[in-house]
Amino acid sequence: MLNFFRQAWKISRGFWQSEEKWSARLLAASVIALQMLNVYVMVKYNVWQNQFYSTIQELDSAKFFQLFLYWPVFTLIFLVVDVNKLYLQQMLEVRWRTWLTNHYLQAWLSKRTYYLLQILDYDTDNPDQRISEDVRLFVSYVLELSFGLFRSTLTLASFIVVLWNLSGIIDLTVGPYVLSIHGYMVWVAIIYAVAGSWLTAVVGNSLIKLNFVQQRYEADFRFSLIRLRENGEGIAFYNGEQREQANFSNRFQLIIENFQALMSGQRRLSYVTLLHWRLSFLLPYLISAPRIFEGKMQLGGLFQTATAFTQVEQSLSFFIDKFYSMNEASLAQLQAVLKRLSSFAEHIDNLHATASGNSIAITAAPGGLLGVACLDIKLPTGELLLKNLELQVQPGDRLLITGASGSGKSTLMKTLAGIWPFGQGNIHIPAGESMLFLPQKPYLPLGTLREILAYPAAADLFAEEKLCEIMIMCKLGEFIDCLNEDGNWSQILSLGEQQRIAFARAILQRPQWLFLDEATSALDEETEMAMHRLLHEQLPGATIISVGHRSTLMEYHHRTLNITEAGSWKLSA
């Protein structure tokens, strides 16, 4: 339990100590103040009930109508307090959620965590669900439970006093002894609630784990559906529908089996909670009966007792209901959400620890050179991919990296780009110079073709004439009319066209250093040559490092770095 609070505080701390802390504290204080007002008015209302119902027993119509006038006042206060309490709580919820979502988005995007999660195969942990769903649930559950806990404790404290005073003393005869019990109704309420709580804990215990697993199965199923959408073409070519269907069925089956276990658990739990709830209607009248028949209590007292008993029992039951309920904010739900958020944060910490356990030092140095010294590149498993690489690239140089498939050419490019952390050694990059990396499959963001061409810069940074001119150079002239059209361009454009978009981007951005990782693999030889010629003409001073298989590429490069088997390499002019 201590661990639970520690974890919850670890996630919450940031917001409550952030720049938003004063508005957050003010909102929380306002909600608490309204809750206190609500309980205070409830106690007053409870006393009023006694007087009001007693007028009926006494057949005192004048007093009845006089007391009746209080009713709209009470109703109005309850209405205003409850509605605004909810509104302020939701205001706090929105602020907290915004802050926490931004916090997780930053953690996901910073230090290329999103990419490391992918290459270290942590992507099955569904970071998207953590950020969109779990953050929302966490904030709403914590607020609902903590404000609920405060309200219940206050209600309990207030109405225990009321109920104690209404109970008086009851004498129990046990054999020859007479036992005088003070505040017996309070004891009945406590025993009743504690028994319910204990039974609920026993019966509902298994639901916590089942709930956690259920969320994960749902997310995994959703993830597999998204993969079908994203890889529709590949699957269609393979006629892979049956295999996909089998995969979906398996994942969905897990959801259903777990849900059936949840249903059985929930059914057992519902018997307990519903019986507990039903009994609570009758119980206060039953326990008041001795005092009524002894003539020590009137009709008003009976109603007042029933309300006070219900308040005591309900606020005690808050701890029960909020423990295992599956359908609303409950400790069980919160525990499951907390576990997922904490394990996400742990994964991020772990992978940063794994990444920083490696020590490829990248430093920006003056002199305009790219230098690689004593560089070992490894796989995440620690297996060596490239051994002791020594390399110097001068400004204006054109270096071609070759080697068999799987030898590590792309991984070397990723290492130079600073996104592959596994290995040791030193890389000096030229200080203050612009670098651009073009992968084999360019990333096309959602949006218009103009936005795609300008990416990652803003679309309005480049004039339309300039964009059109470069599109024509890159043999993309036929798409000029679609420049402002929104579309799923990564599905519409062929891979070759997408690669030419990447060349257009390079010419627009005019980097001093350009890295091409099989960036022309989908082009025919003639177009490939045309693209390299274009780079020569448009970026004459740029240094170019390319990865490629075709020997014709040699024409546009001065030197070759060949990666041979078992991590060795050879540099030739």
Ligand X SMILES: Nc1ncnc2c1ncn2[C@@H]1O[C@H](COP(=O)(O)OP(=O)(O)OP(=O)(O)O)[C@@H](O)[C@H]1O
Q: Is 548 exposed, middle or buried (0-12, 13-18, 19+ CB in 10 A)?
A: buried
User: Which is nearer to ligand X, 312 or 401 (by Cβ)?
Assistant: 401
Q: How far is the CB of 514 from ligand X (least distance, A)?
A: 18
513: left (phi over 0), alpha (psi -120 to 50) or beta: beta
Per CB under 6 A, 379 contacts ligand X = yes
State the Cα–Cα distance between residues 559 and 573, nearest whole angstrom: 4
CB of 104 or CB of 569, closer to ligand X: 569
Q: Is 410 near ligand X (CB under 6 A)?
A: yes
Nearer to ligand X by Cβ, of 304 and 407: the residue is 407
In the three-class reduction of DSSP (H, G, I as helix; E, B as strand; rest coil), residue 517 is classed as: strand
Which of the ranges 22-30, 197-205, 238-246, 400-408 carries the binding residues for ligand X, by CB under 6 A? 400-408
Indicate whether 509 belongs to the interface with ligand X (CB under 6 A): no
What token pair was written down for 568?
Answer: 């060795």
Q: Using CA of residue 417, residue 418, residue 422, residue 423, what is the dihedral sign?
A: positive
What whole-number distance in Å separates Cα of residue 264 and Cα of residue 271? 11
Question: Which CB, 119 or 449, lies closer to ligand X?
Answer: 119
d(CA 509, CA 434): 9
- Our CB check for ligand X shows the closer of 180 and 405 to be 405
Minimum distance from residue 357 beta carbon to ligand X (Å): 16
Q: Which of 175, 176, 234, 406 binds ligand X (CB under 6 A)?
A: 406
CB of 118 to ligand X, least distance (A): 8
Q: Which is nearer to ligand X, 407 or 546 (CB)?
A: 407
- Kindly report whether the peptide bond that precedes residue 72 is cis, defined as omega within 30 degrees of 0: no
The residue from 183, 300, 408, 421 that contacts ligand X (CB under 6 A) is: 408
Nearer to ligand X, 264 or 564 (CB): 564
Q: What is the CA radius of gyration of the chain?
A: 35
Identify whether the C-beta of residue 34 lies closer than 8 Å to the C-beta of residue 42: no
Residue found under tokens 């810069």: 457
Closest separation between CB of residue 547 and ligand X, Å? 7
Which of 403, 421, 442, 511 lies at the binding interface for ligand X (CB under 6 A)? 403
| Nearer of residues 451 and 518 to ligand X, judged by Cβ | 518
Q: Is 358 in the site for ligand X (CB under 6 A)?
A: no
**Considering the rule CB under 6 A, would residue 411 count as an interface residue with ligand X?**
yes
Per-residue burial over 55-94, b = 16 or more CB atoms within 10 Å of its CB, e = otherwise: beeeeeeeebeebeeeeeeeeebeeebeeebeebbeebbe
- Residue 546 engages ligand X in binding (rule: CB under 6 A): no
Give the binding range for ligand X (CB under 6 A) out of 70-78, 214-222, 362-370, 403-411.
403-411
The one segment of 217-225, 265-273, 379-387, 451-459 that binds ligand X by CB under 6 A: 379-387
Residue 325 per-residue DSSP state:
-
CB of 420 within 8 A of CB of 414? yes
**Residue 407 binds ligand X (CB under 6 A):** yes
What is the smallest separation between the CB atom of 441 and ligand X, expressed in angstroms? 11
The piece of 161-169, 310-318, 359-367, 402-410 that touches ligand X (CB under 6 A) is 402-410
Where does residue 470 rank: exposed (0-12), middle (13-18), buried (19+ CB within 10 A)? buried
Residue type, 174: V
Residue 380 as a binder of ligand X (CB under 6 A): the answer is yes
215 phi-psi bin (left φ>0, alpha ψ -120 to 50, beta other): alpha
Smallest distance from ligand X to CB 480, Å: 33
End-to-end CA distance of the chain: 67
- Count residues binding ligand X (CB under 6 A): 12
| Residue owning tokens 């454009």 | 493
What are the helix and strand counts (H, E) for the chain?
18, 14
Burial (0-12, 13-18, 19+ Cβ within 10 Å), 36 = middle
- Asked if 430 interacts with ligand X (CB under 6 A), we say no
CB 368 within 8 A of CB 542: no
User: Binding segment for ligand X among 63-71, 77-85, 340-348, 404-412 (CB under 6 A)?
Assistant: 404-412
302 or 401: whose CB is closer to ligand X? 401
Q: Please say which residue, 284 or 403, places its beta carbon nearer to ligand X.
A: 403
Q: For residues 390 and 546, is the Cβ–Cβ distance under 8 A? A: no
Residue (of 292, 310, 312) closest to 301 by Cα position: 292
Tell me whether residue 323 or residue 420 sits nearer to ligand X (CB atom): 420
CB of 515 to ligand X, least distance (A): 13
Residue 354 Cβ vs ligand X, minimum distance, rounded to whole Å: 12
Nearer Cβ to ligand X (24/351): 351
- Would you say 479 or 569 has its CB closer to ligand X? 569
Q: Select from 3, 180, 239, 405 the one that contacts ligand X (CB under 6 A).
A: 405
Quick one: which segment of 97-105, 279-287, 315-323, 409-417 binds ligand X (CB under 6 A)?
409-417
Q: Does 196 bind ligand X (CB under 6 A)?
A: no
The residues in 94-153 that bind ligand X, with binding defined as CB under 6 A, are: 119
Contact region with ligand X (CB under 6 A), list: 127-135, 146-154, 272-280, 399-407: 399-407
Task: Spell out the SS3 assignment of 378-395.
Answer: ECCCCCEEEEEEEEEECC
**Is the CB of residue 376 less than 8 Å from the CB of residue 538?**
no
Binding site for ligand X (CB under 6 A): 119, 379-380, 385, 403, 405-411
